[in-house]
Structure 1
Amino acid sequence: MFEELKEAYHFVFEKELLEEINKSGYLKEFKEGDVIIEIGDHLKSMPLLLNGAIKILREDQDGDELLLYFLERGDTCAMTLSCCLGNTKSQIRAVAERDTSLIMVPIQKMDEWTAKFKSWRYFVFESYQMRLTEMLDTIDTIAFLNMDGRILKYLQNKAKINQDKKVNSTHQQIAYDLHTSRVVVSRILKKMEIENKIKLFRNQIEVLEL
């Protein structure tokens, strides 16, 4: 675990902090599609992403989901940080975008490391800033892009996160993530294929316009 931790975070944390994280944290692994954090969970630890990718979702009062942002290796979730520090229930759902491994850090260590390690303070503040920027980008996308633009941006983001032009997503899954209907998604995807922006396969979409 320590080698994976160093590889993912050596450019962020000094050796002493990496050793403390390795000593205090514990490894958890998830398969693609597994729910890592559920809405309403009481969180006792925060995740540091070693490998894989995670999508963060919100849910409305009718149970419909909306994708907020993705997390990659070297990231953590600012909304999880807030819940840990405030001892409140989770307001997001975190789902493994692909097979994922995490180090879970006990919340009791967060205050200690904030006082002890400058790199930890910077990491926490930067995480808040990055996630806020991504959520504002999501709001802008909903407010200013039509559904064609939202779907293309969604596919481009997934291709970037997975480092693969071929995105493994069903039309129904895209509809869930973007809070729309499968019929609308299918119609727009077919139109985008005619425009040579994507290429459709069974349960897979190749993004041609990155």
Structure 2
Amino acid sequence: MRHTIFDTPIVNSCFRFLSHLGLKLFGWKLEGQRPNARKYVIIAAPHTSNWDFILIIACAFCFRINIYWMGKNSLFKGPFGGIMTWLGGIPVDRSKANGLVQQMVDTFHNATDLAVAIPPEGTRNKVRQWKSGFYHVAHGAEVPIALSFLDYKKKVGGFGPMFFTTGDYASDLKKIQEFYQPMTGKNPEKFA
């Protein structure tokens, strides 16, 4: 993959310090450990606010993870497009089915180390059901899913266990969602 803020030596150290400091000043704590795998999909939930992005990036610095993330392509237009890419962003055109899952599977197969964050809701708005792309990417690439979280009620962010897909999407999804059941998003009414 390409060069990002996470592998820019001096900038990385500065942002790691600022991330630790910022999280501490705002009362946030980290839980869990950095995933013990070279390649994995990170699901970041609940995703109910723009603040989630800032907190996930701060957590990535604190856990020393070179994270990539998928975001709607409109975020990558205009003067901030280059910054979003440098922050690890991968633009996604949500208006059409364009083989994105297979593209990400191929990217995983061609990488030595890769961590990609995919919000299972696919949006900050309330959804009735999670999108399945994160699961199909992980299963197709034969990589685990790191269950990362932001619990605004407890002001805790971090990682739970690694989850290995079985191919039974309905059963696996139920187990994954059970992990997130007690979590509270910034806007709890948007997290189903």
Which of structures 1 and 2 has the bigger CA Rg? Answer: 1
Which is strand-richer, 1 or 2? 1
Q: TM-score, normalised by structure 1?
A: 0.28
Kindly indicate whether structure 1 or structure 2 has the higher relative contact order, using CA contacts under 8 Å at least 6 residues apart. 2
Q: TM-score, normalised by structure 2?
A: 0.29
Which is helix-richer, 1 or 2? 1
